[in-house]
Amino acid sequence: MSEAPARPDPGAPAPAATIEVVHETVYTYVQPVAQSHHIAHLKPMADEGQTLLASDLVIQPAPSARHERVDSFGNASLHLAIGQPHRSLCVRAFSRVCVRPRFARLDPAASPRWEGLRDRLRYVARAPFDPAVEFVQPSPYVPRLDALRAYAVRSFSPGRPAAEAAVDLMRRIHADFEYRSSSTDVDTPVEQAFAQRLGVCQDFAHVMIGACRMLGLPARYVSGYLLTRTAPGEPALVGADASHAWVQVYVPGTPGVPRDGWLDLDPTNDLVPGLEHVRLAVGRDFGDVTPLRGVIRGGGEHTLAVGVTTRRMPDPVRPGPDVA
């Protein structure tokens, strides 16, 4: 007779991982830049699933002004102004975060039907407004495409639970699309990436977001980092050693999804993020959460070098029981 599985200790601490990230961006200009203004999304999010333990940003040359704000999506954004002439700009972001699993109890099959969610989010005059409706609308990098609707309906069959269908869509994108570094750039239209069935994590995310939106379901873009080295014996994840991107789909009422209703899905790696994903910012698409963007006066042509290093810090040693 087999033994019953051990019940988890309700008093035991939840598993967590402390991850350290170093993200360095270097612009080198052919001609001097007289002045520049930049917006950076380089400070990780802090909520019940992710604790920001340390954050620092070193900028050379030193900015003449810097102001941290919270943007319309709730992200920390840093506004920089550099008034002195310069031929290069180096921005080095250091972060240390504690990540906890947010979807350990996820039950996609118990999610509400996707049609009911879609109908609830339709605009009705003088009816209560759900802010998630904003993420149903098209955005600059994710326009409305009939081809994405046709692709999505294979996963969203009539009456299917919304989260279950979204997970299925994620798995199909992972299977149907090839990840190929440098096959696209930040300005590649989602229509092109969809047609050629290859791209990078940004393209995978935009395709999935567009497919969900074409069915009336909110989906948003997540920028962040992926832990470079996984546990011994596990395959390396795609997109490590660089900024990463994945998707959040709005499925409120699904068991195991946080109270805000957003479920993270990574179509590049075909998984529900656990302890290996560090979230930086969320938005409608890549344009809302670009790690560093700005305008310059002068400079001419330039080169860009970006490097990201992630590592998991050793778990703290817990004291053992007292020995008499």
List, for residues 218-265, the tens digit of each pLDDT value: 999 999 999 866 556 666 565 455 689 999 999 999 999 999 999 999
Q: Where in the chain are the domains?
A: 17-99+289-312, 108-287
The token pair that represents 207 in the structure block: 């395709």
Question: Over the stretch 261-277, which tens digit does the pLDDT of each residue have?
Answer: 999 999 999 999 999 99
Q: Are 247 and 266 in contact (CB under 8 A)?
A: yes
- pTM over the 0.85 mark: yes
29 pLDDT above the threshold of 90: yes
Instruction: Report percent pLDDT > 70 for the chain.
Output: 88
Which CATH number is associated with domain 17-99+289-312?
A: 2.60.40.2250
Note whether 27 and 302 are within 8 A (CB).
yes
**Which CATH architecture does the domain made up of 108-287 adopt?**
Roll (3.10)
pLDDT higher than 90, residue 317: no
Q: What would the pLDDT profile of 133-171 be if each residue is shown by its tens digit?
A: 999 999 999 999 999 999 999 999 999 999 999 999 999
CA distance 149 to 21: 37
170-216 per-position pLDDT tens digit: 999 999 999 998 888 888 999 999 999 999 999 999 999 999 999 99
Report DSSP letters for 84-129, one per residue: S-EEEEEEEEEEEEEE--S-TT--GGGSPBHHHHHHHTS--TTSPP
The mean pLDDT of the chain is: 89
pLDDT at position 322: 46
